[in-house]
Each structure stands twice: as structure tokens, then as C-alpha cells.
């Protein structure tokens, strides 16, 4: 297939594209606006492939999207472009409303018109996969329950609310217009090339710099952690074998309290990058800070459906995935140093081949 991936220069999107180019025979068209979180350097390993093309287009730009569809004629869309950081959504929700809601609506409109223009065979096999989050389901608190595909939506943050809205838009286009849609809701991702504002890379890089490791509240919030390469495999499996109109929850079977995640990072760094004898241990850098507004207590995914129907299971445990992640950040200092100092934004197209 030729697959149009939106947000392909982001964390999950770049992992997905690396998987598609490196592990499948599919061709990829990467559509990305290149906001602060889009880093072409994350795609350096595949940018030279003849099966990879890049288009710098905002998904809110209907005319630009129409040109991309007309030029590349994709067989499927994998929609990952989104504003995704909860703290940013609390401080400035406007960008989340624009990208996650307006942008998704615009993409659906263009994809629908494009599919309607196809011949019967290609129209029948066309797919629109929308990649979403478990945060749309809200807070499980201490219920001991798990999110399933039929769990009612109860988003807490502007980020989660706009993602919930985008899910509803996708389902509406499927039901009203017959667009063959698929939706996935995933748990917290982690792994290589994640922007340093997220918990795990933030803690790794602060620790290496000897800075405080800020933990919200008491750190007892629980998240299910999914290694990003496992997620990429799941998305490919859903696209290739998922039933149109269906939703699949994708989880890592790895529930951890935030404070335990931070302590595990500190322990790994003590082993892999020990501090000098005259320096404080990494764990001593932990500082508990005021909790953020509306902070959900627990997320937990029941991924039984995707395992039963599509045969997908995560390959990484949290221990193995976290060790791989810490080692990657230790071995790829130039990648994250260029992010921290902003130099990655100066030559944004240097690591990609324009279509």
C-alpha cells in the first residue's frame, strides 16, 4: 500500500514510519506541519528511501491536503497529527481546538472526497485509521477497572476533550458518509525520539544535567506504559486486518505509578551513567511539586480485543523497554541536545526529502 501518515515527524509518527519503511514493503507519504514537536532528524534513517516522501502541510489546510491526495493517491490514511501535551493544553488550549478538532474535520472532508473519486475496487479497500488516546475515557481512580472499547467518554483535560471530539468526528464520518474508518486508543507511549517535555525523557535529561526531578502531587498516579515500537506494530496490524468501523484499545500491560517510573529511571542511570562520588545520587533529585489541575489518578487499558481478533501483543515489558529507552538517550546525546538548544528547528527540512 501507499500510506499517508499525518504527524509523521512526531514521536509516535516517526516510529511508525521507521517501522513501515524498515519492516514492510509499504510506501509512505509523511504529512507534517513541523510544529515544535516535529523533528525530521527522527526520520534520518529512512529519509533516503525511494518509498518515503515528505509534504510539509498543515492538516487544517484543505487546499494543501487536496493537492497531496491528488498527487500521491494513497491507499490508506493513518492519522496521528495532534497537539498532545496535557500541560500545554491547560495553559493554551487554542492550538488543541484548532489541530485536533478543526484539523481532523478538514482531513476527513478531503479523505472522503478523495475516496468518492476512486474506482470501486480501490474505494472498497481504502482505510482511514485514526490514532487516539486512553485519556478520552477519563479517570479510573481506585476502581480496579480497565478501559474497554465501550467505556463511556469522560475526558478531564482540554487535550483529552479535543481528542474525544476528534474520535466522535471520525465515527460520524464513518456512519454518515460510509468512510471506512478504524480507531485506536492507546496508553502512555515511551521510547526513543520522544520530545523532552514528556515524563520519561524529561526525567532522564534532568537527571543527567543534575537538575530537579519534579513529580506532580505524591507521584501515585498510575499509567499503563506502551513501548512505541510495540505501538507501531499494533497500528500496522489494525490497518491491515482491522474491521472497518471498529475501535481497538492498545495497551502495554505495564501499569506503574509515576514515582516508581522515576525511581526506575534513577536506578538505571546509576548503573549506566553513575554520578561522581561527590555528587548526590539521582534519586535525591526527586522533588514533589504542586499537582496539575484535573490530574487523572489512573489509566489502565484492557487490550483483550486486539489480542483476540488481530493477534497483537506487546513484545516489551516495562523493564526491558525502559532500559532500551534510557540507553538510547545516553547513546544519542546529539539528538536531544539539538532539541534542548533549539538548533533542530533551524534546518527543519534538512533531514527529509521533499516530494
Question: Active site residue: 52, 114, 137, 159, which one?
Answer: 159
Q: Which residue has the cell 470501486?
A: 120
What span, in angstroms and rounded, lies between the C-alpha atoms of 94 and 275? 42
Question: Active site residue: 41, 58, 134, 255, which one?
Answer: 134
| 87 noted as active-site residue | no
What span, in angstroms and rounded, lies between the C-alpha atoms of 106 and 84? 18
What span, in angstroms and rounded, lies between the C-alpha atoms of 8 and 53? 11
| 159 noted as active-site residue | yes
Class of residue 287 by CB neighbours under 10 A (exposed 0-12, middle 13-18, buried 19+): exposed
Give the list of residues 6+ apart from residue 254 with CB closer than 8 angstroms, or none.
224, 225, 226, 314, 317, 318, 321
What span, in angstroms and rounded, lies between the C-alpha atoms of 138 and 151? 9
Cβ–Cβ < 8 Å for 7, 38: yes
Q: What is the DSSP string of 16-53?
A: HHHHHHHHSS-EEEEE----TT--GGGGTTTTT-TTEE
Helices (H), the chain: 11-23, 62-72, 86-91, 94-96, 104-116, 120-125, 158-177, 199-208, 228-241, 258-272, 304-310, 318-331, 333-340
| 98 noted as active-site residue | no
Question: Active site residue: 135, 139, 167, 296, which one?
Answer: 135
Q: Please choose, from the candidates 108, 183, 189, the residue with its C-alpha nearest in 3D space to the C-alpha of residue 149.
A: 183
What span, in angstroms and rounded, lies between the C-alpha atoms of 220 and 80? 29
Q: Which residues are catalytic?
A: 134-135, 159
Amino acid at each position: 500500500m501507499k500510506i499517508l501518515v499525518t504527524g509523521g515527524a512526531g514521536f509516535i509518527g516517526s516510529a511508525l514510519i521507521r517501522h513501515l519503511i524498515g519492516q514492510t514493503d509499504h510506501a509512505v507519504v509523511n504529512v507534517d506541519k513541523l510544529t515544535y514537536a516535529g523533528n525530521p532528524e527522527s526520520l534520518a534513517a529512512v529519509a533516503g528511501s525511494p518509498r518515503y516522501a515528505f509534504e510539509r502541510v498543515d492538516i487544517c489546510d484543505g487546499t494543501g491536503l487536496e493537492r497531496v491526495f491528488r498527487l500521491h493517491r494513497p491507499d490508506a490514511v493513518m492519522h496521528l497529527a495532534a497537539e498532545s501535551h496535557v500541560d500545554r493544553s491547560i495553559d493554551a488550549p487554542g492550538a488543541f481546538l484548532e489541530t485536533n478538532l478543526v484539523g481532523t474535520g478538514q482531513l476527513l472532508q478531503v479523505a472522503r472526497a478523495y475516496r468518492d473519486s476512486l474506482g470501486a475496487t480501490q474505494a472498497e479497500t481504502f482505510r482511514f485509521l485514526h490514532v487516539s488516546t486512553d485519556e478520552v475515557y477519563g479517570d479510573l481512580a481506585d476502581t480496579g477497572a480497565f478501559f474497554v472499547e465501550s467505556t463511556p467518554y469522560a475526558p478531564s483535560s482540554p487535550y483529552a476533550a479535543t481528542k474525544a471530539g476528534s474520535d466522535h468526528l471520525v465515527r460520524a464520518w464513518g456512519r454518515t458518509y460510509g468512510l471506512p474508518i478504524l480507531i485506536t486508543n492507546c496508553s502512555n507511549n515511551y521510547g526513543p525520539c520522544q520530545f523532552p517535555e514528556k515524563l520519561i525523557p524529561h526525567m532522564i535529561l534532568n537527571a543527567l544535567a543534575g537538575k530537579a526531578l519534579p513529580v506532580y502531587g505524591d507521584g501515585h498516579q498510575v499509567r499503563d506504559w506502551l513501548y512505541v515500537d510495540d505501538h507501531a506494530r499494533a497500528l500496522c496490524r489494525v490497518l491491515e486486518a482491522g474491521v472497518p468501523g471498529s475501535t481497538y484499545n492498545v495497551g502495554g500491560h505495564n501499569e506503574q505509578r509515576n514515582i516508581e517510573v522515576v525511581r526506575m529511571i534513577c536506578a538505571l542511570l546509576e548503573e549506566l551513567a553513575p554520578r561522581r562520588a561527590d555528587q548526590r545520587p539521582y534519586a535525591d533529585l526527586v522533588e514533589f511539586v504542586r499537582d496539575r489541575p484535573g490530574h487523572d489518578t489512573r489509566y489502565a487499558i484492557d487490550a483483550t480485543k486486539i489480542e483476540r481478533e488481530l493477534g497483537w501483543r506487546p513484545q516489551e515489558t516495562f523493564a526491558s523497554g525502559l532500559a532500551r529507552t534510557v540507553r538510547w538517550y545516553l547513546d544519542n546525546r546529539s539528538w536531544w541536545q539539538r532539541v534542548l538548544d533549539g538548533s533542530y528547528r533551524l534546518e527543519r527540512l534538512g533531514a527529509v526529502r521533499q516530494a
